[in-house]
Amino acid sequence: MATRNDPLPLARTPLHALHVQAPDCTWVTLGDGATPARLAEAGTETSRLARCGLIDLSALARTGVRGPAAADTLREQGYRLPEAPNRCQAQPDGRRVVRLSATEYLLLADPQATDATPALAPDEAPGCYGLPRQDSHAWLALTGEHAAAVMAKLCAVDLADDAFTEGQVAQTSVARVDAIVIRDRLDTTPCLHLLVDSAATDYLWSALLDAMQEFDGGPLGIAELLPPTPG
């Protein structure tokens, strides 16, 4: 349920202090955390989503696993894995599995689901151990037709649609911040997910918003991604 009140008792994203200052911010509770439902009027956000929008997804679940038995452990628990490093595989339930190397994987919640904290991590086994990512890494999503053009100002990797296709992953630097960049699609909307050091999130958020001005881009809340509320 969305509210305009500052959700003090709930877990906060690294960008909470910035969001609280936004005059049009309303909040939604996902799992045990709060994240902006809206940062602008609904019509404005719908336009931004399609053209050039920036969403804080840090309230959603994410974790990692590593080890020589990581792939077998994930498969045994029903995950479909990318065939090669630096690839992302969408799961039937909407979650994403990102293969970062031969033995390391990143697991992401479905960014379009209201359940923010599904059971992501597999049970640890010999040769497979967890790498918590919830606090160490923030999760941002850059959406819309101009997402790659925005990133061209901040990143040396060519992230254009024809060079960086859906499911590809780049471990690179964005505005001098180490980042994992994932090409995805949210229904019909092109999207670049960015996983970055939580300590650098304020800086990178501001850098991205500055680069988006040319395309009339701006921030939006997660409500644009979630199913409509019944009634």
pLDDT over 70 percentage in the chain: 91
Q: Note whether residue 48 is domain-resident.
A: no
Residue whose entry in the numeric block shows the structure tokens 């180490």? 178
CA-nearest of 191, 71, 182, 70 to 137 is: 182
Which pLDDT belongs to residue 59?
92
Q: Is the pTM of this model over 0.85?
A: yes
Q: Note whether residue 15 is domain-resident.
A: no
Interatomic CA distance for residues 164 and 151, integer angstroms: 12
Q: Note whether residue 212 is domain-resident.
A: no
Q: Note whether residue 52 is domain-resident.
A: no
CA-nearest of 86, 111, 109 to 99 is: 86
Give the H or E element holding residue 204: helix 201-212
Tally of domains within the chain: 1
Pairing of strands 104-108, 129-132: unpaired
Q: Which domain holds residue 120?
A: 62-132
Across 200-221, average pLDDT: 98
Which pLDDT belongs to residue 124?
74
For 103, phi then psi, to 5°, come to: -130, 10
What one-letter code names the amino acid at 214? Answer: E
Q: Note whether residue 126 is domain-resident.
A: yes
CA-nearest of 191, 110, 74, 180 to 144 is: 191
Give the H or E element holding residue 129: strand 129-132
Q: Note whether residue 120 is domain-resident.
A: yes
Q: Note whether residue 124 is domain-resident.
A: yes
Going by pLDDT thresholds of 50, 70 and 90, the confidence category of residue 118 is low
Q: Note whether residue 161 is domain-resident.
A: no
